Copies of this chain bind each other. A is one copy, B any other.
Amino acid sequence: MSGRPREFDDDAVIAAAMDVFWSNGYEATSAQELVERTGLGRGSLYNAFGSKQKLYHEALTRYQEQGIQAQAQILDGPGMVKERLRALMLWGIDGDLDPVKRRGCMALFAALERSGKDPAVERISRVYITRLEQVLCHLFAVGQRSGEVSSGRPALTMARAFLASYYGLRLLGRSMPERAFLEDVMEGTLAGL
Contact = CB atoms under 8 A, between A and B. Distances in A.
A176 interface: yes
A85 B116 CA distance: 28
Contacts of A162: 188
Nearest to A110: B175
A161 interface: yes
Nearest to A162: B188
Contacts of A184: 156-157, 160
Nearest to A105: B112
Number of copies of chain A assembled together: 2
Contact of A129 (B122, B160, B176): B176
A112 B115 contact: no
Interface in A96-121: 102-104, 108-109, 111-113, 115-116
Contacts of A153: 187-188, 191
B175 A189 contact: no
Contacts of A129: 172, 175-176
A193 B175 CA distance: 25
Interface in A8-59: 25, 27-28
Given A113-B113, A191-B153, A168 B175 contact: no
